[in-house]
Structure 1
Amino acid sequence: MTLAANGIYWSVGGAAILSDVSLDVRPGEFLGIIGPNGSGKTSLMALLAGIRKPQRGEVMLDDKPLLAHGRQAIARRIAFVEQQAETTERITARQAVELGRTPHLGALTPWSKADDAVVDRALEEVDMTHFAGRLWHTLSGGERQRLHIGRALAQQSPILLLDEPTNHLDIGHQIGLLQLVREQELTVVAALHDLNHAAMFCDRIAVMQGGHIVALGTPAKVLEPQRLADVFGITVDVERDSAGGCFIRYRRPDPRPAKLKLVAEAR
C-alpha cells in the first residue's frame, strides 16, 4: 500500500499554504512531519487523507489518484485522526470507537461478533475499556483523544495519519500512545510538535517551513542544531548515541538586553 504527494499546491484566500510539496511514504514506516505553527503540516495531512483536493498536483494511493478510489474505499485504506475532531451527539466512549468499523459495514456485511472483538481490542489498546459506557461529553480532552486513536485502530486501515496525536495527553500517555502506534503493522504519518518524540519513534522526518518540505531523512540526519535554529528559531544541543539515535537538549534563550527591557517597561 503506497501513498505519495506529487507537486501539490494548496492556497487559502490567495495565500499559498503548501507549494510544490512532494513526498513518498514508504510502506511500513513511521514518518514524522515537524515544523512551526503555520508551516502547512495540518493542510498536508488533510490532503493526504483526501479531505481536501489539491489545487495543483496529485495525491496518489497505490499509483492511482486518491479521490478516484471513492470515500469508502479510501476509509478502508486510510484512517485519519484529526487535531480537532468533536461531536455533539450523545454517544458513549464505546460507540465512538465503533464508528471505526463503518467503512467495513454494508447491506451484505452487518455488524457481527467479529466487529465487537475489534472494538474490544481497540479500547484495551488505548486503555479506555473501563470508560466504555461513559458519555462522550463527560470525558476529558485526553480521554477523547485516546478514543480517537482507538477509533482509528478499530478501522483496521493499513495507513494511519495522525495530526498532533498527543495533544491533551499527559506525558505517560503520550509516550505510551506513540509506542502503541509504533508497534502496529501499519504505515504511519504523524504531524508532531515534540521534536524528541519525533527522534524517538520516527524512521524518517520531513521538516516543513513556509509551506515547503525543507529536509527529509532519518532523525539523526535531519535534527541538526543549525537546521532547528533556522526553522524554529531555537538554540539546541543534539546528543547522539552509538545506535544512531539522538536527543535534543534545549538551551534557554539569551536574556534580553537591559535597554530593550527599559523601553518595554516604559510602554
Structure 2
Amino acid sequence: MTLSVSHVSWSAGGTEILRDISLTVETGEFLGIIGPNGSGKTSLMSLFAGLRKPRSGVVLLDGAPIGSLSRRDVAQRLALVEQQADTGERITARQAVEIGRTPYLGPLLPWSPDDDRIVDAALDNVDMTHLAGRSWHTLSGGERQRLHIARAIAQQPEILLLDEPTNHLDIGHQISLLDLVQRQELTVVAALHDLNHAAMYCDRIAVMQVGCLVALGRPRDVLTEERIRDVFGVDAEIDVDGGGLCHLRFRTQRSHARVTAVRPANLSATGGR
C-alpha cells in the first residue's frame, strides 16, 4: 500500500504553512521527516492522515484520494500516533489499546474473541501485558507511548504515522520505542527531532524548511554538513561508518569577544543609589 502527496499546499489563518510538496512513501520503508520547529512537519503528518484537507494538490492512499474514503476505511489502513495524544477518561492500559479496534466495530459487528486476541497480541508486542490492568494516569510517559504504539498495532494498519513519538522521553525510552517501531512489519512515516535517530532508523529522510521540501533521500546523502548548517543553523561533523550509517556531532558557536562588566559610577556595590 502506498501513501503519497502530490503538489500539496496548506494554509492556516491566511498564512501558507506548506508549499507545493510532492513525495511518495514506499511500501515497507521507514521514512523520517525532519526540520526545525515551524517547518511544517506536523501539518504534513495531518495531511497524510487525512485530518486536514490541502488547499491545493492531493493526498493519495493506495492510489485513491484520501478525502474520497470514509474515516473507517482510512483507519483500517493507517494509524496515527500523535505528538501529545492523551485522555482524560479513567481507563486502564488495556482499554486504551482496545480503542484501536474501533474501526472494525459496529451495530452488526460487536466485540468478539478475535478482538481480544488482537489486543492481547498488541500488548505482548510492546511488553505491556503485565501492566494491562493499571490505570492510565499511573503510567509513565514511556509506558504511555508504548500503549499508543500498541493501540496503533491493534488497529492492524499497513501504514503507521508517528508525530515526534520520542518527545518528552528519556534516551533509553527513545531508543527502545524506535527499536519497537522498526521491528513492526509496517510502512512507517515519523516526524523526528533528533537527527541521529533519523540517521539510525530511517531508510529515507525528507527535510522540511519553512513549509517546503528541500531534500529527500538516504540519510548519508541528505544529512550533509552544508544542509544541516543551512536548515538548522548549526555546525556539525558527520562520520559515515562501514555500514553506511551516519553519526552526527554538533559544534557550538562560541564568540571570542570578551565582555567586560562596567558598574555605573552612581551605583553602590549593593545596587543602591
Partner of 2:171: 171
User: How big is the shift at 1:139?
Assistant: 2.2
Partner of 1:68: 68
Q: Residue 188 of structure 2: SS of its match in structure 1? A: strand
What whole-Å deviation, never above 9, does each CA across 1:147-200 have from its counterpart, x for those lacking one?
111111111100000000112322222112212211211110000011111101
Partner of 1:229: 229
Q: Structure 1 stretches (4+) deviating beyond 4 angstroms?
A: none
Partner of 1:118: 118
Q: Residue 185 of structure 1: SS of its match in structure 2? A: coil
User: How big is the shift at 1:144?
Assistant: 1.8
2: CA distance between counterparts of 1:6 and 1:215? Answer: 16
In structure 2, give the amino acid aligned to 1:32.
Answer: G
**Relative to structure 1, is the Cα distance of residues 262 and 142 closer, same or farther in structure 2, using a 3 angstrom cutoff?**
farther
Within the alignment, does 1:127 sit opposite 2:112 as a pair? no
Within the alignment, does 1:190 sit opposite 2:161 as a pair? no
Q: Which moved more, 1:60-69 or 1:25-34?
A: 60-69
Q: Residue 76 of structure 2: SS of its match in structure 1? A: helix
Q: Residue 147 of structure 2: SS of its match in structure 1? A: helix
1: CA distance between counterparts of 2:138 and 2:102? Answer: 24
Within the alignment, does 1:9 sit opposite 2:41 as a pair? no
**Relative to structure 1, is the Cα distance of residues 229 and 117 closer, same or farther in structure 2, using a 3 angstrom cutoff?**
same
Unaligned 5+ runs, structure 2: 263-273
Q: Residue 9 of structure 1: SS of its match in structure 2? A: strand
Structure number with greater Rg is: 2
2: CA distance between counterparts of 1:234 and 1:49? Answer: 31
What pairs up with 1:238-249 in 2 under 5 angstroms?
238-249=238-249
Q: Residue 28 of structure 2: SS of its match in structure 1? A: coil
Normalised by the size of structure 1, how large is the TM-score?
0.94
Q: Residue 207 of structure 1: SS of its match in structure 2? A: strand
Q: For the Cα contact (< 8 Å) 1:93–1:134, is it kept in 2? A: yes
Q: For the Cα contact (< 8 Å) 1:123–1:129, is it kept in 2? A: yes
In structure 2, give the amino acid aligned to 1:52.
Answer: R
Partner of 2:200: 200
Unaligned 5+ runs, structure 1: none
1: CA distance between counterparts of 2:14 and 2:213? Answer: 20
What whole-Å deviation, never above 9, does each CA across 1:49-102 have from its counterpart, x for those lacking one?
011111111101111110211100000001000001121111111100010011
Q: Residue 33 of structure 2: SS of its match in structure 1? A: strand
Percentage of pairs with the same residue: 65
User: How big is the shift at 1:110?
Assistant: 2.1
2: CA distance between counterparts of 1:13 and 1:134? Answer: 42
Q: Which moved more, 1:142-151 or 1:107-116?
A: 107-116
Q: For the Cα contact (< 8 Å) 1:126–1:150, is it kept in 2? A: yes
Within the alignment, does 1:251 sit opposite 2:242 as a pair? no
Higher helix share: 1
The size of the alignment, in residue pairs, is 262
2: CA distance between counterparts of 1:165 and 1:38? Answer: 17
Q: Residue 20 of structure 2: SS of its match in structure 1? A: strand
Normalised by the size of structure 2, how large is the TM-score?
0.92
What pairs up with 1:21-32 in 2 under 5 angstroms?
21-32=21-32
What whole-Å deviation, never above 9, does each CA across 1:5-25 have from its counterpart, x for those lacking one?
011111111111101111111
Q: For the Cα contact (< 8 Å) 1:145–1:167, is it kept in 2? A: no
- Give the root-mean-square deviation of aligned CA atoms: 1.5
Q: For the Cα contact (< 8 Å) 1:6–1:21, is it kept in 2? A: yes
In structure 2, give the amino acid aligned to 1:24.
Answer: T
**Relative to structure 1, is the Cα distance of residues 116 and 212 closer, same or farther in structure 2, using a 3 angstrom cutoff?**
same
Q: Which moved more, 1:167-176 or 1:147-156?
A: 167-176
Within the alignment, does 1:91 sit opposite 2:88 as a pair? no
Within the alignment, does 1:59 sit opposite 2:55 as a pair? no
Within the alignment, does 1:80 sit opposite 2:80 as a pair? yes
What whole-Å deviation, never above 9, does each CA across 1:234-263 have from its counterpart, x for those lacking one?
11110101222111111232246324x859
2: CA distance between counterparts of 1:243 and 1:111? Answer: 47
Q: For the Cα contact (< 8 Å) 1:158–1:187, is it kept in 2? A: yes
**Relative to structure 1, is the Cα distance of residues 70 and 233 closer, same or farther in structure 2, using a 3 angstrom cutoff?**
same
